[in-house]
Structure 1
Amino acid sequence: MLAGIRTFSKSIFAKIIFGVIALSFVIWGLNASMLNLGTSREVAEIGSQKITPVELDRAFQRSVQNMQNMFGPNFNQQQAIQMGLLNNTVQSLVSQKILREDAKNIGIGISDEAVRDQIFSSDSFKDPTTGQFSRDRFLQALYQAGYTENEFINGVRGDMMSQQVVSSLTNPATVPDIMARQIVAYRNEQRSGSFFTLNKDEFADIPVADDATLRAYHEENAAQFTAPESRNVTLATLSAADLISTVTVTEDEIADAYAQRQAEFQTPEKRTVEQILFSPNEEQTAREAYKRLQEGADFMTVAKEDANMDEAMVKLGQFTANDILPDLSDATFSLDEGGISEPVETALGWHIIRVSSITPGSTQSLDEVRDIIVDGLKQFKAEDAIYDLAATFDEELGAGTPIEDAARDVGAKTYKLDGVVRGEGLAGQDVDGADEINAKIFELENGEESFLEETASGTRYVVRVENVTPSALRPFDEVRDEVVAAWTAEERQRLMMEKAEELAGNINTSGADLATLASEDGADVRETGLTRRTGRGLADDVNPAIAAALFTLEDGKAKAIQTGEDVMIVKLDEIQAADINTADAAPVNDELKEALNEDILAQYLNYLNEEISVSVNNSVINELYQPTAAN
């Protein structure tokens, strides 16, 4: 999950949601003076700025939505609150407002042109094929992130204001060159060694321990031989999928459904759009450019000369009427092919639109989509029937009718399941929603029956726990073979490590030759080649633990290590220290500088927290989210 969060935090949306503050150092707390807004209904007041309940909720819901995009729809608001995302959103908004208030006090302003350039240069809005700004991707991205265009533009402007403050603080940070070089030298040191794996054949026949030893092992490792709690249950399921094969549809129903769903089978008209965009204060310039176009000037030439736009910025791509910005839709779809619009105003400025080509819409015939229509009708009828059957099923169960009888009356499937274990499905039965049903089974007491429940995919079910077998250590006689196998494996590893440590000791104390020891053991020596601490340089089939071992040894010394079932003797043969004077310290310098910058910014935020009045109203936040958290 953390990897997903880090990926998201690099996007332009995260920068607007969280301002320019990295998640890693939005850690300052809210002191007592910050927690009193009297009767105010604002979430927070930061100098002359406010965080309204609507602003917090939209930012928080965007955060939740982004998490759902990464981790699936089951990630909910309650989970977000529990993991601290709500608190993080509040603190991030406060930090963002503090920096913006500071920028405002200093007198920093950002021009419309600078905001436009920032948006156009964002990779989030570039066509992956052309690498240029795409209006289509821009609008889709804003929609998916939950922003209006004005809200996003204002967010970018505020972020750029804050960034100027941040840049003035962090750019001067420097790192001592010698420190960076020493770190690089540490990372770049290389070592090589040799190793061999003990021959397992010598340890193939381990004498079986006596019963007293095995019984003691059985008790000392009880968790390994304990049977989990299991339950025997009666289950009944009712699903639309079970009814579809019995459903029939008529030709009249197919024709009616096609007529009702015809919009689904239509490919809308698309238009290839080009635009010249002028900033909000350049209406007159836009109208003069339009006049030139009417007089026959080349569209691309006017774009370059009057708006300083290159071809990639002018060509927006294909749009349907629903895809393009609403303010531009009417103008775009009222033009003939090759037509040019008069200047149209949006929040981004003044647009002159040209439609370079039109792809007419089309409609699939009934014959082409017949299977889709029929399947949809059957699914609908089955679900409709299930609704009534489920109501009848629920009534019968509520009246005390046994599960088996109620299930038979409505055509539900019944199962007798023995040995159901928590988290392990339904005893091998392939039932829709098995994991959800399994969880419900272990919410019930012995002899208890559930209500009629419904899985996420729509299967209705009811389950009764018939018997509970508690978790218990299985008798020794029942698991003796398992105990023997486990004890033997552990004894084998112990004996192998004992021998390996003895051989490594021979190398370290008496200078024994590794190759000779390997030969006597019937093993082959392998060379590691030069490797770094991370294992970089090792062959793919060499365990990185060998590299780790090399960097714990003195030159010429050896040690025994265990990797899985293998036991090895590793010897260090060569150390190649990195030259501190020629080390490329730039990457490490950047890492350290970034860490210093984060510390500086965190300290500056703490300073602003004292200088700028900040009040956070927890009662408003609790009112907004406490009911949700309690559900």
Structure 2
Amino acid sequence: MAKNSAKTVATWVILGLLFFGLIGFGATGLSGNVRTLGSVGEKEIAIQDYARELNRQINQLQQQTGQTLTFSEVEQFGIDRMVLSSLISRRTLDNEAAELGLSAGDGRVAAEVRASPAFQGLDGSFDREGYKFALDRNGLTEGEYESEIREQLARGLLQRAVVAAIPESDTYADVIAAYLGETRSFVWAELDEDDLAEPIPEPTDAELQAYYEANLDAFTRPETREITYAALTPDMILDDVEVDRADLQALYDERIDDYVRPERRLVERLIFPDEDAAAAALARIESGESDFDSEVRARGLDLADIDLGDVAQDRLGAAGEAVFAARPGDVVGPHPTDLGPALFRMNAVLPAQEVPLEEAEADLRVELAADVARRRVQSVGEEIADLIAGGATLEDLSERTDLELGTLTYTDDSRDGLAAYAAFRAEAASARPEDFPELVELEDGGIFALRVDEVREPAPIPLEETREAVAAAWREAQRSERLLARAEEMAATIEETGRFTDQMPAPIAEIGVDRRAVIGGTPPGFVAQVFEMEEGEARAVETESGAIVVQLRGTRAAYPDNARVAADAATLAERAQGGVVQDIFDVFTRAVQTSTEVRLDQSAVEAVNATFR
């Protein structure tokens, strides 16, 4: 297993980084003579490697968060330092491998290049022109790229040499798998108000007052802002916008592919290196010796690789007439294509579609009108901003422009009217009564300015105004409290008598439940509590709305020969071994690094970082 784990980690080291380095980035603003950030031993740290990896890490984090990061934020997260540290570790291993005389031969490097999916054509074979194009596009020569592959392979050899002798240890995995594989059998039932000895009474005034005072936060108004605003949105003037018929026709013509679609076919295309190979495959299909799917697999491809989707006849070139004459399921060809001779399978007929302008007009009119309305709103923005700067009040704006005046009682929960806009909420929450109004743009192109007339601090709602809500909350609290107390009484009786059904006539039985199970209708952590119980023990478990009574009926150890237990043990062992392998290799890397001279040109590092600002 140690070998497998070492191989897995080595594979990530060798191949996992293979094409991250191909994400192009040009470090501009640097002296043409500066090509390195420094060196580790005899191995240089290339500026291009640092810039590419830093760019990759930033893009990856932006994709994960959905936000654009400034370089100041990148520095706060320590991404630049992490990238530099990673490169130093990598070059440390490259230097150590070179000192030990470890290297990969030309044949091994060539095999890695040819095996890369990024350099394979549609037929699955190595595409030399595609290889040269990809490297050129990313600013690499073949020699530079293949040297990088050679170093990555050497690092893999070094890693395997370090970790290959690590002994296997399944004890940890066996213990955890046995723990996870244990099961419990139990019965349980949820209480409701019918299980209470007496109904919940109506609260007295004193009880309501006490509950109100003890839970004052629940009956407190949030901060409230009284706001006056003047706003103009595209929707406000949409009905006044006239759309020219010629503009409708122009937009319809622009979108003609959406409204007028010729007859199409769902087609798959299988490319062959030559016509003889394609004809031989067709002969096997027609004789029943093979089928189209088998021929696809024989080419080392999946159906997704050859799917053309829905296509019109003119997109199929010389094959168009034959494909369109075929019936669903037919295979035709071979026919010439830009990529070589091909067989085509026609899977379905999609009839022609045409939506005339008269039917599309309503949607097109709304779109055009909205666009005109947005432009009209934006065209008056500068004039309105000048009026505000000149001292015009919101009331003045509503009289002298198309802005509409309104008022709003705003809290953080407001979402109606203009409060549906994030920009309005942000301004409403941050503005102060002494602030002068400012013109702000809305997400849909609208504009507004607002004034905070009054800010009311959070304050308790008088009991007289919220009496019904307090009474409902008191009753729910009493219900939960009384049901839990009743459940505890029942659990004590069940544990004493051993007879669950005397207390709860229709319990739910759960047989062979393991620690990872989730039981519907039970609170979080319920199964964990069951596993804490002794056999025969009964317990009351609190829920959001009341309580559950549960009794443990039986325990069972994990069966080592159980398929799931065995699979868990194997997975855990592999993960544990992989963790040990990685930890040991990290220690090795740090040890080598302490005895290897590292030289860094901090000015070069800062120059690269400056290109990201």
TM (normalized to structure 2)?
Answer: 0.68
Question: 1:457 Cα deviation (Å)?
Answer: 4.2
Corresponding residue to 1:516 among 502, 513, 517? 502
Cα distance in 2 for partners of 1:575, 1:541 equals 22
Q: Is the 8 A contact 1:134 1:317 kept in 2?
A: no
1:57-88 Cα distance to aligned partner (Å, 9 max, x none): 54344334344444435676666555554444
What pairs with 1:292-371 in structure 2 (closer than 5 Å)?
Answer: 311-312=299-300, 353-354=339-340, 356=342
Question: 1:247 Cα deviation (Å)?
Answer: 3.8
Cα distance in 1 for partners of 2:115, 2:95 equals 23
What pairs with 1:413-562 in structure 2 (closer than 5 Å)?
Answer: 413-418=404-409, 420-422=410-412, 424-426=413-415, 428-429=416-417, 431=418, 434-508=421-495, 510-519=496-505, 524-535=506-517, 538=519, 540-541=520-521, 545-562=525-542
1:165-222 Cα distance to aligned partner (Å, 9 max, x none): 4344445444423332222111101110112222323277334555555444434433
Question: 1:41 Cα deviation (Å)?
Answer: 9.4
What pairs with 1:45-194 in structure 2 (closer than 5 Å)?
Answer: 45-47=39-41, 48-52=43-47, 55-73=49-67, 82-105=76-99, 106-109=101-104, 110-119=108-117, 159-194=152-187
Cα distance in 1 for partners of 2:400, 2:602 equals 55
AA matched with 2:299: E
SS in 2 for 1:442: helix
Q: Is the 8 A contact 2:102 2:157 kept in 1?
A: no
| Pair 1:485–1:252, CA change in 2 (3 A) | closer
SS in 1 for 2:532: coil
Cα distance in 1 for partners of 2:584, 2:239 equals 68
Q: Which moved more, 1:595-604 or 1:408-417?
A: 408-417
Corresponding residue to 2:231 among 228, 237, 253? 237
Q: Is the 8 A contact 1:133 1:313 kept in 2?
A: no
SS in 1 for 2:395: helix
Partner in structure 1 of residue 378 of structure 2: 387
1:309-328 Cα distance to aligned partner (Å, 9 max, x none): 96346997589xxxxxxxxx
Cα distance in 2 for partners of 1:442, 1:477 equals 29
| Pair 1:425–1:150, CA change in 2 (3 A) | farther
Q: Is the 8 A contact 1:189 1:578 kept in 2?
A: yes
AA matched with 2:530: L
Cα distance in 2 for partners of 1:265, 1:149 equals 45
AA matched with 1:386: V
Cα distance in 2 for partners of 1:244, 1:158 equals 64
Question: 1:574 Cα deviation (Å)?
Answer: 0.7
Partner in structure 1 of residue 348 of structure 2: none
What pairs with 1:255-274 in structure 2 (closer than 5 Å)?
Answer: 274=271
Corresponding residue to 1:567 among 540, 543, 547? 547
Cα distance in 2 for partners of 1:356, 1:458 equals 51
Q: Is the 8 A contact 2:228 2:452 kept in 1?
A: yes
Cα distance in 2 for partners of 1:239, 1:156 equals 58
Question: 1:553 Cα deviation (Å)?
Answer: 0.8
Corresponding residue to 1:225 among 219, 223, 230? 219
Q: Is the 8 A contact 1:229 1:471 kept in 2?
A: yes
SS in 2 for 1:458: coil
Q: Is the 8 A contact 1:275 1:314 kept in 2?
A: no
1:152-175 Cα distance to aligned partner (Å, 9 max, x none): 966776655544443444454444
Question: 1:111 Cα deviation (Å)?
Answer: 1.0
Cα distance in 2 for partners of 1:623, 1:254 equals 53
| Pair 1:478–1:609, CA change in 2 (3 A) | farther
SS in 2 for 1:406: helix
SS in 2 for 1:518: coil
Partner in structure 2 of residue 612 of structure 1: 596
Cα distance in 1 for partners of 2:492, 2:268 equals 79
Q: Which moved more, 1:463-472 or 1:401-410?
A: 401-410
| Pair 1:114–1:576, CA change in 2 (3 A) | same
AA matched with 1:399: G
Question: 1:619 Cα deviation (Å)?
Answer: 6.8
Mapped pair 1:206 → 2:200: yes
1:200-245 Cα distance to aligned partner (Å, 9 max, x none): 2327733455555544443443322222111111223334454455
AA matched with 1:612: T
Question: 1:395 Cα deviation (Å)?
Answer: 1.1
AA matched with 2:192: N
| Pair 1:513–1:300, CA change in 2 (3 A) | same
Cα distance in 1 for partners of 2:467, 2:125 equals 69
Corresponding residue to 1:405 among 371, 385, 396? 396
1:310-363 Cα distance to aligned partner (Å, 9 max, x none): 6346997589xxxxxxxxxxxxxxxxx96699xxxxxxxxxxx536599xxxxx
| Pair 1:614–1:212, CA change in 2 (3 A) | farther
SS in 2 for 1:514: coil
Q: Is the 8 A contact 2:535 2:553 kept in 1?
A: yes
1:474-506 Cα distance to aligned partner (Å, 9 max, x none): 334443433333333223322322232233233
Cα distance in 2 for partners of 1:379, 1:357 equals 48
Q: Is the 8 A contact 1:247 1:378 kept in 2?
A: yes
Let me know the Cα RMSD of the aligned residues: 5.1
Cα distance in 2 for partners of 1:354, 1:200 equals 77
Q: Is the 8 A contact 1:238 1:390 kept in 2?
A: no
SS in 2 for 1:50: strand
Identity %: 19
AA matched with 1:528: E
Q: Which runs of 5+ in 1 are unaligned?
A: 1-9, 20-39, 277-292, 302-308, 320-336, 342-352, 359-363
| Pair 1:216–1:374, CA change in 2 (3 A) | closer
1:520-578 Cα distance to aligned partner (Å, 9 max, x none): xxxx2221111001126x5x455564422220011111211112213112111111112
Q: Is the 8 A contact 2:184 2:552 kept in 1?
A: yes
Q: Is the 8 A contact 2:20 2:56 kept in 1?
A: no
Q: Is the 8 A contact 1:433 1:459 kept in 2?
A: no
1:380-419 Cα distance to aligned partner (Å, 9 max, x none): 544443332111111111111112332454423443111x
Cα distance in 2 for partners of 1:377, 1:72 equals 30
TM (normalized to structure 1)?
Answer: 0.67
Q: How many residues align?
A: 524
Cα distance in 2 for partners of 1:55, 1:264 equals 45
